C-alpha cells in the first residue's frame, strides 16, 4: 500500500474513496478472515468499526482509515500467499 500523507487533502480523498468502495458484506469477509488468522483483537475491532461505517468514511478520522486500509492490505497479501 502506498504511503499517504495525512496532511494532504488529495491523499485523504483517495483514502476515503478506497474505504468507501467496500460494502458491509466485504468488511464481514475481512472480519472472518482476520479472526481465522488471529491478527489481534484491536485489528478485528477496527474492522468491525469499519463495517458499521461502510460507505460513510467522513465519520472516521484519517488515522483510523489508514489503519483499516493497512489491515485490509495485510489480509489480502497473506491470503494470496
How much of the chain exceeds pLDDT 90, in percent? 30
Which has the higher per-residue pLDDT, 70 or 78? 70
Confidence at residue 1, expressed as pLDDT on a 0 to 100 scale: 63
Indicate the pTM of the whole model. 0.85
Question: Residue 41 is placed in which grid cell?
Answer: 483483537
User: What share of the chain has pLDDT > 70, as a percent?
Assistant: 95
Residues 47/27, Cβ–Cβ less than 8 Å: yes
65: buried, middle or exposed (CB in 10 Å: 19+, 13-18, 0-12)? buried
Sketch the domain layout of the chain as residue ranges: 18-80
Q: Could you tell me which residue, 24 or 2, shows the higher pLDDT?
A: 24
Cell numbers describing residue 32: 472472518
Contact 47, 74 (CB under 8 A): no
Where is pLDDT greater, at 1 or 28?
28
Amino acid at each position: 500500500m502506498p504511503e499517504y500523507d495525512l496532511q494532504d487533502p488529495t491523499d485523504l480523498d483517495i483514502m476515503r474513496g478506497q474505504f468507501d468502495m467496500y460494502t458491509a458484506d466485504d468488511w464481514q469477509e475481512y472480519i472472518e478472515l482476520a479472526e481465522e488468522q488471529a491478527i489481534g483483537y484491536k485489528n478485528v475491532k477496527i474492522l468491525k468499526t469499519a463495517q458499521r461505517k461502510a460507505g460513510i468514511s467522513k465519520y472516521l478520522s484519517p488515522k483510523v482509515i489508514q489503519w483499516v486500509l493497512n489491515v485490509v492490505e495485510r489480509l489480502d497479501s497473506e491470503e494470496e500467499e
